[in-house]
Amino acid sequence: MWLAWFRTAVFYLFFYGPFTIFWAIFAGLTSWMLPKRWRYPYIILTWSWFSLYAARWVLGIRWQVVGREHLPQQPVVIAANHQSAWETFFLQTLINPQSQVIKKSLLKIPFFGWTYGLLKPIAIDRTNPKSAMVQVVEQGKRVLTDGHHVLIFPEGTRRHPDELGKFSKGAATLAQKANVPLLPVSLDAGRVWPASLWQPKRAGVITVTLHPTMASTSGDALAVTQQLQATIHRSLHGDQGTLDADVTASPSSALQQEAFGN
């Protein structure tokens, strides 16, 4: 256990933390010169790849991807379970370009928020759930029309690896309104990268599974969300594990996802 704590401290103090601050400042000062279509790979992919490989070589966290044949050839709404911060940067490298739904206040964080705002993420005010849902649909449709994917974590917050939280209808609703497929993604990152910042990261292999895309028009948003949740639950737990079977229709719950797992 002491080795895991040591690796975690080295990762945060000498790699992840310093590089995030440095890159947010440097990219923020230089990316304005680039066309909008180049900003995503310059800002996000550079940061994501560095973080991913720092985690691999310092923490010993590796990964395998199942179902690469399901990588989308057209814009989709990506719906993934959420266990850690790891998937928020890994999925950027696997399926791109993409936009995430974030809370608007994150854009006010010095350097990080200012630079991330250059990418025009789907930033919503969660204090007004009804307005937030309208923002997600309107901005999400524009993002998808521009050829970018949209990533949503339907659970809304990170969960323990043995649990699958209640799914919101946000992903299904956006997919239906934009008339694009849903891509279910299941992953078990929480086994090696716990949700809590105060738990050490452990060496191991994360499995990321891309499932066949789902037609968002195959039923109402509730039915599609239930099918989505069942697909991810079977992949992670089979008939085991804890599953919140009720799907919430609350817009505020639908919009709990945050950038980079914060």
Q: For residues 225-244, give the mean pLDDT.
A: 84
- Alpha-carbon span 211 to 94, nearest angstrom: 14
Residue of 188, 78, 198 lying closest to 143 (CA atoms): 78
Give pLDDT tens digits for 27-52. Answer: 999 988 888 788 889 999 999 999 99
Q: What is the mean pLDDT of the chain?
A: 87
Whether residue 258 is predicted with pLDDT greater than 60 in this model: the reply is: no
Residue 127 contacts residue 133 (beta carbons within 8 Å): no
Whether residue 248 is predicted with pLDDT greater than 60 in this model: the reply is: no
Give pLDDT tens digits for 183-192. Answer: 999 999 999 9
pLDDT of residue 198: 84
Percent of the chain at pLDDT > 70 equals 90
Reduced 3-state DSSP string for the chain: CHHHHHHHHHHHHHHHHHHHHHHHHHHHHHHHHCCHHHHHHHHHHHHHHHHHHHHHHHHCEEEEEECHHHCCCCCCEEEECCCCCHHHHHHHHHCCCEEEEEEHHHHHCCCHHHHHHCCCCEEECCCCHHHHHHHHHHHHHHHHHCCCEEEECCCCCCCCCCEECCCECHHHHHHHHHCCCEEEEEECHHHCCCCCCCCCCCCEEEEEEECCCECCCCCCHHHHHHHHHHHHHHHHHCCCCEECCCCECCHHHHCCCCHHHC
Give pLDDT tens digits for 90-107. Answer: 999 999 999 987 778 778
Residue 51 contacts residue 16 (beta carbons within 8 Å): yes
Structural domains of the chain sorted by starting position, each given as residue range(s) with its CATH number in brackets: 2-261 (3.40.1130)
Give pLDDT tens digits for 131-144. Answer: 777 888 999 999 99
Residue 6 contacts residue 93 (beta carbons within 8 Å): no
